[in-house]
Structure formats: C-alpha cells, structure tokens
Amino acid sequence: MANLYKTMLQPLVFSGLQADPEAVHRQLLSGLGWMSRGCQGHRPAQCTPVPWLLNQWSRTYGWIDPRLEQQLWGLTFSNPVGLAAGFDKDGIATHVWPHFGFGFAEVGTVTAQAQPGNPRPRLFRLPQDQAAINRMGFNNRGAERMAQTLAAAQQHRPHAIPLGINLGKSKVTPVAEAAEDYRYSFQQLYAYGDYFVINVSSPNTPGLRSLQAVDQLEPILEALQTANQPRKPLLVKIAPDLNWEEIAAIVALAQTYALSGIIATNTTLSRQGLSTQHLSATGNSPQAEVGGLSGAPLAQRSTEVIRFIYQQTQGSLPIIGVGGIMGAEDAWEKLTAGASLLQVYTGWIYEGPSLVRQILQGLLARLQAEGFPHLQAAVGYRHPDAAKT
C-alpha cells in the first residue's frame, strides 16, 4: 500500500486529470475530515465505515519505537515528525493525522475573523524542483468556528497526538491592532490546543512579516503571555529570509517572554536555485508569481536558521525544524543542527503518506549507526560547539 500513492495516486493528483492543486487538496481534506468525524453526531446508519481503514493506515504508515519518543513541555511525542501548519487550516481532520504516523499535528493558520484568502490560482507546484509556491493568504473559517470543530472532535474522543494551533492576524485588522487580534483567537482556542504558535512569518498577508520586528512583536507576546494562564507552550514561527541580527533579536525576545520555542522556518521569498522555467498553471516564471516557496530548495536555508538559533541559545530553547524535509537525510540534518521536533508539508505531497515512516526508519538507522541511544541525544550533535561539550 505504501507504494500505491507513488504508482497510482500521485500521477492522478499531479496530472491533467486534476490540474488544480488546490482542488485536489480540498477534496482530499474533505474526505479526511469525513473520516476524522467518524460516528460523531450521527446515527449509527450514517457512521463512516472507516475504523478498519484507519487501523490499516496506522499499520502501513506508522512506526513505533521508544527511541523516537520526545518529551517536551510536559507533552509526550511518540515520534518527532509532525504535520506542518497550512494543511489542515480549520482543524477538520485532527483524528486522522495519527493514522498517517505523525507524532503531532499543527492546525491553522487560523485568524480571529473568517476570511477567504487571496484570489485563485494561489497554489503552484514545481515538480522539477520538488517545490511549491503558495499565496493562500490565510483562507480559514475563523477562530470561533475552529473552536467549535475542535470541541466537537474532543468530545467525540481525545486526540491521540499533541495538537498545535497556529494563529495569524486577520487581513482586515490593522498591524497596530495585531496584539488584540491574536489574543482574541488565542482565548477562543486556548482550551483545545496542546501548544500555540504565533505566526508572524507568512509572506501572504500584507504587513504580517513586519510583526517580526521586535517593537511590533513585543506587544503580541505580552498580550498572549498575559492571557496564557495556566501556561501552555507558546512558540513563534519565523521566516527564513530574516538576517542573523533579526533572528538573534527574536530569540532574545522569546527568552524574555519565556516562550517555549521557535518554529524555523516558514516559506521563503527567494527563488534562488530553481530549475523550473515556467509554471504549468500560468505559464509565468516562478520569479513572476508572488508567494512563499516551500520544499527542497528551502531545506538548506531553514537548517542554517535552526543551527544559528541552537547556537545562540546553547540548545536551551526548543526548535521545531521545518522546510524542505523530503526524506530521512533531510530530517537528520535538521535534528543534528538542533531541532527537537520536525514538520513536513511539501515533502508529504511529493512523497505521499509513506514519508513519515520512511523518515522514522531512516532516523533509527542513523541513531544506530552513530551510536546514539535515543533521538534526544542526537539533537544539536552537528552544532559547531557540540564536540566541546
């Protein structure tokens, strides 16, 4: 079943039969949402006939080994590979993600106000580069609706894996009122997340990335940490396009406000190193399409950012590493650069659902080969100062 995706489904997903990647995504997610809901709120006759299929997926795509377990923020992650934000923006399929082998899942970005996002087309594939460009613009049903969805899901049964909730600023809210906008979403959703992420790094909401500047980020951290009682883990997600000084300033602020970690990184504005000349959807060059680039071309830069943060903090601030993880080698690079947890998005599209298991088995092989007793021991191992400590 693992190769079924590559041999049969992926060609369909990528070919002319379904040329619009967003339509494919919507259909896939609505199917998974239906499966996730199961019998919740339905009469038995309307129950989705899926438990056997979900169990089959768990057996096919999951991999359990105690050496992969991570303990962070009082949470147990049965493995370090999570689903990155943006895939399940409204949190409709939370019960399905553990069956694909994920150790955690992050839903959102959700904003205080429901919003449609940018006009289509807004998602482009670059298969030649194993990459994607998106300018979705935080299309989502809003914080209140997500709270209802997650409440219903949790009433049905508790989540099997830690759930992160990624918060963004509503497009209609002026940058000067961002703190209140984030605080509203946080309060709506506080009960349902195991950790929360302040997303100030999407390139697709005008002015959002300016919130990464210390004077603009500080009031948001202040507002959220004041509302954060009792404390749940709060992280900030940053862009790969910041310079070292800007990253160092955010790291310092994260420490001042006792944030629980940093997610590095979001998509990049860079188009360096692409071999794609024209996007099939528009005929335009990748340079001509506005949006964030994800996938393989992002891998190296996001790993550099992880290494820099690890170095700055001497490993004291947990990092979730994301950006261009297409296989176990990329995952190992990020872990040994200093990431305690990992996330995938574009790699999962290209490689299919067997990616998580493939990464976990590859990581175990590396642990064994390099003589590490468990994953945590390998975190930051390739950091330049690691040999001295």
Ligand X SMILES: Cc1cc2nc3c(=O)[nH]c(=O)nc-3n(C[C@H](O)[C@H](O)[C@H](O)COP(=O)(O)O)c2cc1C
Judged by CB under 6 A, does residue 199 bind ligand X?
yes
Nearest approach, Cβ of residue 3 and ligand X (Å): 21
- Selecting among 202, 294, 340, 354, the annotated active-site residue is 202
Strand segments, DSSP code E, in the chain are: 70-72, 75-77, 81-83, 104-110, 123-126, 131-134, 163-167, 195-199, 234-238, 261-264, 292-295, 319-322, 341-344
Judged by CB under 6 A, does residue 358 bind ligand X?
no
CA angle 290, 293, 294 (to 5 degrees): 155
Nearest approach, Cβ of residue 322 and ligand X (Å): 5
Q: Per DSSP, what are the bridge partners of residue 329?
A: none
Nearest approach, Cβ of residue 157 and ligand X (Å): 26
Among residues 112, 136, 223, 341, which is the contact residue for ligand X, using CB under 6 A? Answer: 136
Residue with smaller CB distance to ligand X, 342 or 379:
342
Structure token digits, residue 116: 């449609």
Among residues 70, 113, 228, 294, which is the contact residue for ligand X, using CB under 6 A? Answer: 294
Buried b (16+ CB within 10 A) or exposed e, 127-145: eebbbbbbbbbbbbbbbbe
Contact yes or no for 133/295 (Cβ under 8 A): no
Contact yes or no for 157/95 (Cβ under 8 A): yes
Collapsing DSSP states into helix, strand and coil, what is residue 141? coil
Q: Which amino acid is at 131?
A: A
Per-residue DSSP letter, 38: T
Q: Which stretch binds ligand X (CB under 6 A): 10-18, 327-335, 343-351, 371-379?
A: 343-351
In angstroms, the CA 212 to CA 91 distance is 25
Tell whether 103 is in a known binding site: no
Residue with smaller CB distance to ligand X, 38 or 233:
233
Tell whether 264 is in a known binding site: no
Which string of x and - marks every residue 114-133 that binds ligand X (by CB under 6 A)?
A: ---------x--------x-
Structure token digits, residue 289: 């399409």
Nearest approach, Cβ of residue 359 and ligand X (Å): 11
Among positions 230-259, residues that touch ligand X (CB under 6 A) are 237
Which string of x and - marks every residue 82-111 that binds ligand X (by CB under 6 A)?
A: --xxx--x-------------------x--
Judged by CB under 6 A, does residue 169 bind ligand X?
no
302 is an active site residue = no
Among positions 57-86, residues that touch ligand X (CB under 6 A) are 84-86
Beta strands 292-295 and 131-134, pairing class: antiparallel
Chain Cα centroid distance, residue 236: 12
Tell whether 94 is in a known binding site: no
Judged by CB under 6 A, does residue 345 bind ligand X?
yes
Residue with smaller CB distance to ligand X, 179 or 264:
264
CB-count exposure of residue 108 (10 Å: 0-12, 13-18, 19+):
buried
Residues assigned a catalytic role? 202
Which parts are annotated binding residues? 85-89, 109, 134-138, 166, 199, 204, 237, 265-267, 295, 324, 345-346
Q: Which residues bind to ligand X, rule: CB under 6 A? A: 84-86, 89, 109, 123, 132, 134, 136, 138, 166, 199, 202, 237, 266-267, 294-295, 298, 322-325, 344-347
